Each structure stands twice: as C-alpha cells, then as structure tokens.
Chains A and B, each alone.
Chain A
C-alpha cells in the first residue's frame, strides 16, 4: 500500500534526526512545573510534544521506539550536543531553541523538497517547526531588547551555546542535504533575529572543527549521562511498565 517507504530508511540518518527530537523533547519537558509563567509552561510542553511525535516516527523507522529510547547506552545516541545542554536559565533555553529550531526548519524544508524516506515526515513537521522558530525568535527579541539584565543574560546564553552550533552542519550519512546552503540560511536567519534583538552573532570557536567528533559520533557532554539516567530509569527498573 502507499504507506510503505520508498526505500529502506538509512539508520544513521533516522537516529540523528530522531535523537535530536527525543533529547530536546525531554529537556523541554523538564520545564514542567518550573516555567516562569503558566502560558510559557504550556508552550514549552507543546513544543516538546511536537518533537516527541517526530521522534516516535523517526525511531520507529529503524527499530522499536521504546527499546531505542530507553535501552541504548549514552554512546549509542546520535543527537547533537546542543540539544542535550541543560535548560539553564530561561535565556539559555530560548537560545537553544533559536539555534535548533532554525536549523530544523531549514533542514526539514530541504528534506520535504526531496524524495527520501523522510519526505513525508519533513513536509508535515516543517509546518510545526515554523511555530517553534517563531516562538524562539519572539522571546529572543523580548529578552535581548528588554531590560539590561535580560539583555545581558540573553547575550551570555547565545555565547555559551555557540560552540555547539558547528556540529549541526557536518554531513549525516543518508541525508541528501546541501549542508553549505543549510549553514548559510541558518546563519542569515539567526543573525537577523539577533540583530533585531540588539545582540550580535557570537564569533568564538565551534564544534564543527573538533577532530574527536561530537554527538553525531556518539560523543556527548557531561550533562547528558544524568539526563539519560532520569529518562530511562523507570523503563529499566520496571520492564514493560505502562499506565
């Protein structure tokens, strides 16, 4: 029938896209009960839900979604180091959202225009991600062009996460993407938002140049282990648990 994939989905690519969505979804879920205002709590939970929906579909392409999410070790995850970074203050969460949602928007646009195992999902998710990017951009403007304190925190957050952005444009096996064009679109979009927010694009070193590799090779930062332990412990302690 017409829901069979055109070709077998490439595993590395499905894990890269799926793990990005899964891990960021979990991080955003950590805001539940802690967000600065109720509306924002609901917004972050809704964005997390969209990402979880993507993750379930992507991981199911290459295996059992629960086994992949709950029973893999840290080194087997292929997500970007950016998405595993702790929530920090609200500015750091927004900076992470701005960098990642802009990346996902342009990446999914390219995938939606192609013809691969990811075309259907990308065409659907790109419309949702446009709202995520809109949300992040508006908060960046509000914080960057807000009080002296909010400006300072937003600038600090954008600078602190900058080092993790280079990895986003390293080619992923099995994804037919023009990575150079993706990086150009991303940089232009992020720089435009930051400029309107009276901030500047950071210019420090980025992870793309790290020879040891990064999240796409299974090398993760220190905060990822504790996050994974919390995410997986219920499933591992009580196999088959459900409600």
Chain B
C-alpha cells in the first residue's frame, strides 16, 4: 500500500475534482467503490463514511482510487482497499490501484446525513457535528439510540474500536456505543 503524508490541500493533483469533470465511466466506478460496505460498520458504505476521496481513470484500463483512513491506525483500511480492488476488477478494469492519503485529515463531519441516520438505527449514537479538533465539550447532549433519552453518561472514552466511546443511558439503562467526534 502506498501512503502519502506530505500532500497539501493547496496543491491538488492534475486530475483533481474541479479541474475536470468525471467521465461517465468514472462516475460509475465511483458509485461501485462507494457502495462497498465498511468492514467494521457494515451498515455504512464507504461513500457514506466519507473515506472515498477520488476515483480517476489514469489510462486505458487503469483506475486510481484515493482512500483516507478514519483513524491513523485503523486496521479496516486494508480490507477496504481489497474490497474496492475486487469490485472494480469484477467490473472489468484490469489495473486498479488504491492509495491511502492523509490530507486533508478525515473528520466525523465527513459522514453523510444518511450515514448518521443509519448509525443511530444500528444502535450507535452518531457523532455530533462541528468536530473542528479534539473532544467536543460534553455539554452537548448525546441521545440514547435505543430510547431517545438525552440523559446519558460516559463510561469509557474508548470502546470496541478507537472511533467509539462507551456510554450508558440513565433512562433505559442500556449501554451503547457513541461514534466520537474527530
């Protein structure tokens, strides 16, 4: 896997979105790659999670996909890359390269509205918006995904994965995961 670290948002690649409109094929491939489910949160697609950056045909039969990790050490990124490679090869593109980019850093604000709705439906309290940097003040209440009460308390800052915190609802007493703001 290729990992880029020094990229600057101010100097986009020649084929960055905005410079050229995606072709019909690129749009189709992006939809395919974007529909791949997150290996750890399979209710979300990669598009809804906001980790799919660009899908560009760099030559005939050659596609380059840029993916960004949620957390620096997220082990799911390797499975995501393999899944994307597989679906694009199955579509008939022989040469698929998936590269990981770090800049600009992913934020929970990149999760789509539909993604947030699905998280709550799945029993995970979605991240609060406006995660500029660091922990969001706890004064903003987090709603229990089971009963809807806002009377919830933090049990642990880290839960089943680095991106979640463990909370408990004071109303229905159920524990639940909260997708932390990042």
User: Residues of A at under 8 Å CB distance from B?
Assistant: 1-7, 9, 39-40, 42-43, 46-47, 49-54, 56-57, 60-61, 115-121, 123-128, 130-131, 134-135, 138
Chain A at the B interface: mostly helix, strand, loop or mixed? Answer: helix
Q: Are B74 and A53 in contact (CB under 8 A)?
A: yes
Which residues from B are CB-within-8-Å of A116?
Answer: 6
Q: Are A57 and B3 in contact (CB under 8 A)?
A: yes
Q: Are B71 and A39 in contact (CB under 8 A)?
A: no
Q: Are A1 and B13 in contact (CB under 8 A)?
A: yes
User: Residues of B at under 8 Å CB distance from A?
Assistant: 2-8, 11-13, 16, 64, 66, 69, 71-75, 99, 101-107, 133-135, 155-162, 166, 180, 182
* 5 tightest Cβ-Cβ pairs between the two chains A and B: A3-B4, A53-B73, A5-B6, A53-B72, A130-B134
Task: Compute how far the CA of A6 lies from the CA of B143 in the bound complex, rounded to whole angstroms.
Answer: 44
24 contacts between A and B (CB under 8 A): A1-B99, A2-B7, A2-B13, A3-B4, A3-B66, A4-B7, A5-B6, A7-B6, A39-B155, A39-B156, A53-B73, A116-B6, A120-B6, A123-B102, A123-B104, A124-B105, A126-B133, A127-B133, A127-B182, A128-B182, A130-B133, A134-B135, A135-B157, A135-B158
Known: A2-B11, A50-B71, A121-B72. A42 touches B156 (CB 8 A): yes
Q: Are A4 and B182 in contact (CB under 8 A)?
A: no
Pick the most buried of A9, A60, A121: most chain B CB atoms within 10 A of its CB. A121
Known: A49-B162, A117-B6, A121-B102. A43 touches B73 (CB 8 A): no
